[in-house]
Amino acid sequence: MCGSQQFVQNHIRGYPLLDAKCKRCQALWTKYATVTSDHIRTEGKLRMAELQSELEQIATLTLEADAAGKLRIAGREAIRVHEEESHPSG
């Protein structure tokens, strides 16, 4: 299989896929799944607080959602860097 075919096989819409044989990939994707779930959950709580005009909750949840979003971005970046360093597409 040539390098470009391998790249297509290992990506969907340009996003890296989990290499099931790589422990580091498994750990990074597990962490990413956790922070993504946390981010989505916090965003949902924030939307509910906004609908109910709970100003104190909005302030707190906005900070939490921003922090969770940053963790999510960091997780994606860690996956990207690991893939480039450990699983080059050729």
Q: pLDDT (tens digit, 9 = 90+) per residue, 57-72?
A: 999 999 999 999 999 9
78: tokens are 């860690």
**Amino acid at site 78:** A
Q: Assign 22 a pLDDT band (cuts: 50, 70, 90).
A: confident
Q: Amino acid letter at 75?
A: G
Residue 88's pLDDT band (cuts 50, 70, 90): confident
The pLDDT assigned to 9 comes to: 46
Report residue 15's pLDDT band, with 50, 70 and 90 as the boundaries.
Answer: low
Q: Answer for the pair 17, 11: CB distance below 8 angstroms, yes or no.
A: yes
Domain ranges (residues) in the chain: 3-86
User: Could you tell me the CA-to-CA distances from 31 to 4, 11, 41, 64, 84 in Å, in that order?
Assistant: 28, 19, 15, 17, 18
Question: Rounded to two decimals, what is the model's pTM?
Answer: 0.74
Cβ atoms of 43 and 36 closer than 8 Å: no
Q: What would you report as the CA-atom Rg of the chain, rounded to the nearest whole angstrom?
A: 17
Tens-digit pLDDT profile for residues 42-58: 999 999 999 999 999 99
Say if residues 61 and 40 touch (Cβ distance below 8 Å): no
Please name the residue that has the structure tokens 């470009």.
4
Share of the chain above pLDDT 90, in %: 63
